[in-house]
Structure 1
Amino acid sequence: MSADPRTTPPTLGRLTAPAAWHTVDLISDLHLQVSEQATFEAWHDYMARTTADAVLILGDLFEVWVGDDAAAQDPFLQRCAQVLRQTAQRAHVGFMPGNRDFLVGPDFLSACGVQPLTDPTLITLGQQRILLSHGDALCLDDKPYQAFRLQARNPQWQQAFLAKPLAERQEFARNLRALSESQKHEGMTFADADLEMSLFWLAQAGADQLIHGHTHRPADHALGSAVRHVLSDWSLDHAPLRAQVFRLTRHTDTADNPFAYNDWRSERLDWNRAQA
């Protein structure tokens, strides 16, 4: 009998913001693909112009990822890699796997200068402790997906899948995407993050804020004394049109003591070409 995920402590990654960091940006669910150029161009523009010290990507940067070997043969994925590489030369770029791109490998990330992020990761910003996740593991009511996730995150399954011919892997991904699209057209309601599990994760991490993506329902939810921030997806090729950055900015206590600070404050930025 499998353990109840609501009472199974997560294996936490940890990230401590250096004193030099003043701004941290979080984005997720861009679902980059060659057929949606407006979204890609907005992301490209953002990555080139953001002044953040760190850009943390919380999953589903790519619509699909069937192995690092596919990127070597795909001009569009090579363009994406170039954007990551250029940004990583001047800022810390972190990547957390999502449900669409969990097979992004260490070789690809290393070649791009991108740091891997465990799901979930506890980030410490001064006195604040914030828990970061893609969010799919929290959506317990989506039972068919959770069964697939348990299988697909198994290293043996991944090794066997990546050993298949590229064409076979790409066909598998196309079938999954077709199923997902059919569910959207049928008006299927997708699960949200489980409240009990979210609170359990926060308690285990000693955090009072949870930031995640996955659900495409950007909002801020009060969880008693804690808060759950849901990141938006990026979609500039079809409605709803949005490209939102969740920005954390360090604030100082006094103007004459820049080393004394008590918190990091959040804001949501609607990205456009006039914004930096």
Structure 2
Amino acid sequence: MATLFIADLHLHTEEPAITAGFLRFLNGEARQADALYILGDLFEAWIGDDDPNPLYREIAAAIHALVDTGVPCYFIHGNRDFLVGKRFARESGMILLPEEKVLDIHGRRVLILHGDTLCTDDTEYQAMRKKVHTPWIQTLFLALPLFIRHKIAARMRASSKAAYSNKSLEEMDVNPQAVVNVMEKHRVQWLIHGHTHRPAIHSLQANGNEAFRAVLGAWHREGSMIKVTTEDVKLIAFPF
């Protein structure tokens, strides 16, 4: 058996091929897993669990169908869907995890997170992240009418794209020392994350020994998953 990890699907109504690929994944490979972990940005945007978008209900039902077969599904919030709440968790059967979680998987101690907190060189983003994760700001936002939340979210996405166009790839990638720091904080030799859309398995030094950072790819033109078994850890790309 295997434990599966995915991230950065960015599901939205304008990309039906990605949605179809995810639904096939849930009905296929995921059914054979010990567990499925979604490490953030499952959705392109999330303005509240009360959004009646039919896509969200479809995804919730599909994940719940997987859970009903006996495969637990866990979720860590991303920078796009950090407002996914308890209501959607109940609808989908997902278990919400903290932003940093250590797992013991097939003899490996593995830290999982979304990955945006590791991009410490992007100080502008980190300042914005701190602001939008302020509890009272989230409460105020979720109290607004849906149509206003949609407008705010669209404006924020446009601003984000404009900001990224003026930043270097290095600035938006993880900071190597931040990676080592978080791995030593949790005393792990394996780290799995998404966010950067740069799929690879990197070797580094942490806790005085060789360590590994596995990065998930985004679901743009193909799917991406990390499969952890007793034998190894594999980064796998697959067609929708």
Question: Would you say same fold, with TM above 0.5?
Answer: yes
Q: Is the 8 A contact 2:201 2:235 kept in 1?
A: no
The 5-angstrom pairing of residues 122-201 of structure 1 reads 122-183=102-163, 189=169, 190-201=171-182
Deviation at 1:272, TM superposition (A): 3.2
- CA contact 2:222–2:239 (8 Å) conserved in 1: no
Q: Which has the higher helix share?
A: 2
Q: Deviations over 1:211-247 (max 9, x none)?
A: 1100011112111211111110001xxxxx2211110
Please, which runs of 5 or more residues in structure 2 have no aligned partner? none
Pair 1:233 & 2:218 matched = yes
Determine whether 1:62 maps to 2:43.
yes
Q: Tell which deviates more after alignment, 162-171 or 183-192.
A: 183-192
The correspondence of residues 63-102 of structure 1 with structure 2, limited to 5 A, is 63-70=44-51, 73-90=52-69, 91-102=71-82
| Preserved contact between residue 120 and residue 131 of structure 1 (Cα < 8 Å) | yes
- Asked whether the equivalents of residues 107 and 230 of structure 2 are also in contact (C-alpha less than 8 Å), the reply is no
SS of 2:217's partner is: coil
What SS class does the counterpart of residue 87 from structure 2 fall into?
helix
Match of 1:214, SS?
coil
1:258 match: none
Once the two structures are TM-superposed, the CA of residue 206 in structure 1 deviates from its matched residue by 1.2
Q: Retained in 2: the 8 A contact 1:140–1:146?
A: yes
Quickly say closer, same or farther: Cα 1:185–1:194, change in 2 above 3 A. Answer: closer
TM-score between both structures, scaled by the size of structure 1: 0.80
Once residues 149 and 118 of structure 1 are traced to their aligned partners in structure 2, the CA distance between those partners, rounded to angstroms, is 16
Contact 1:46 1:271 in 2 (8 A): no
Q: Select 1:245's aligned residue among 219, 225, 234.
A: 225
Q: Offset at 1:108?
A: 0.9
State how far apart, in whole Å, the 2-side matches of 1:45 and 1:161 are.
Answer: 34
Instruction: Give ranges in structure 1 of 5+ residues lacking alignment.
Output: 1-21, 236-240, 252-264
Distance 1:127 1:188 in 2: 38
> Taking structure 1 as reference, are residues 27 and 205 closer, same or farther at Cα in structure 2, changes over 3 Å only?
same
Residue in 2 that maps onto 1:213 = 194
Change beyond 3 A, Cα 1:242–1:187: farther
State yes or no: 1:268 paired with 2:238: no
AA aligned to 1:31 is H
Q: 1:268 offset after TM fit, Å? A: 2.1
Please identify the structure whose Cα radius of gyration is greater.
1
Residue 53, structure 1, aligned to residue 34, structure 2: yes
The alpha carbon displacement at 1:63 in A equals 0.1
Aligned-CA RMSD value = 1.5
The alpha-carbon distance between structure 1 residues 126 and 246, as it changes in their structure 2 partners (threshold 3 A), is closer
3-state SS, counterpart of residue 69 of structure 1: coil
Partner of 1:68, secondary structure, is: coil
TM-score normalized with structure 2 length: 0.92
> Could you tell me how far 1:77 is from its partner in structure 2?
1.3
Q: Distance in 2 between matches of 1:61 and 1:82?
A: 14
Structure with greater strand percent: 1
* 1:227 partner amino acid: F
Secondary structure of residue in 1 paired with 2:121: coil
Out of 39, 42, 47, the position equivalent to 2:18 is: 39
Shift in CA distance, 126/219, structure 1 to aligned 2, threshold 3 Å: closer
Partner of 1:30: 9
